[in-house]
Amino acid sequence: MAAQGDSEQVRYCARFPYLCLKFTLVAYSTVFWLLGAFVLAVGIYAEVERQKYKTLESAFLAPAIILILLGIVMFLVSFLGVLASLRDNINLLQAFMYILGFCLLIELVGGITALIFRNKTIEFLNENIGRGIQNYYDDLDFKNIMDFVQKEFKCCGGEDFKDWSKNQYHDCSAPGPLACGVPYSCCIANKTMVINTMCGYKMMTEERLSVQHIIYVRGCTNAVFIWFTDNYAIMAGILLGILLPQFFGVLITLLYITRVEDIIAEHKLNDTLLQGRRRQRDDYEPGGAGCCMCFPE
């Protein structure tokens, strides 16, 4: 009885890591599956609302579209992880691990490339911001994003405040009060209760030094990069928050695959041993003959 109890305990301990890994992977995949469904739902809702007020194709990829694409990828990949972990399918588990690893690699390579070729990255961003400025009043998504960035990072335009001349309403040759001006989000907030929405009037006709106490004159691209540099601890935390869950998913899937392969190999070995014992019993012929062949001699 004691030997049988020890045997059962050994078998349970051998299965314990498998069960822990299985439940961890199922929980991990389920959480991101539900999160992907939530992001997808928010993206669809935002896109439906955007279509009601959209008057022009966006120069930028709309945030709603980004949310939809991100939600679809998260939903499908996480569903693959849930299915693979529940069925213990080696091929599905490997596909899930490779997709996670590929996404992680792409993010790392993209981030490192953007830092190495910083000037090219800034040039690319400035070009896209310039196209967005052209459609500033026709694209509510870009308008809201640009106003937020200019207020929060205390900047104006892409390279500098004169980028707003690319907009047909702010161009100096345009009619109306907005000509040669910049949006209110470029203005330095005053301490009075009265908000002057025309504080950017005719600012582009002035020199940089003469208007720097009225509006923000530095470009938003450089302002954002400077903020990233000054707040490297926050940026490191954000990057770890994005990359670590993916790395954990790759690691836990790899460990689970190895454990499942060990169990499969163990079962195959046990089946081989059982088949060998059956053959030995079949090959064994007890002595005797006739009706007494099964009796001991």
Residues with Cβ < 8 Å from 253, sequence gap 6 or more? 25, 81, 93, 96, 97, 100
pTM across the whole model:
0.71
What's the Cα-to-Cα distance from 186 to each of 64, 148, 199, rounded to whole Å?
Answer: 25, 10, 9
For the residues 106-116, what does the mean pLDDT come to? 87
Residue 283 is predicted with a pLDDT of 57
Whether 29 and 85 have beta carbons less than 8 Å apart is answered as yes
Whether 158 and 219 have beta carbons less than 8 Å apart is answered as yes
Q: How confident is the model at residue 80 (pLDDT cuts 50, 70, 90)?
A: very high
Per-residue pLDDT tens over the stretch 210-256: 888 888 989 999 898 888 888 888 888 888 888 999 999 999 999 99
Helix, strand or coil, per DSSP, at residue 25? helix
- Looking at residue 35, what DSSP letter applies? H
Task: Specify the range with the lowest mean pLDDT, choosing from 57-66, 74-83, 234-243.
Answer: 57-66
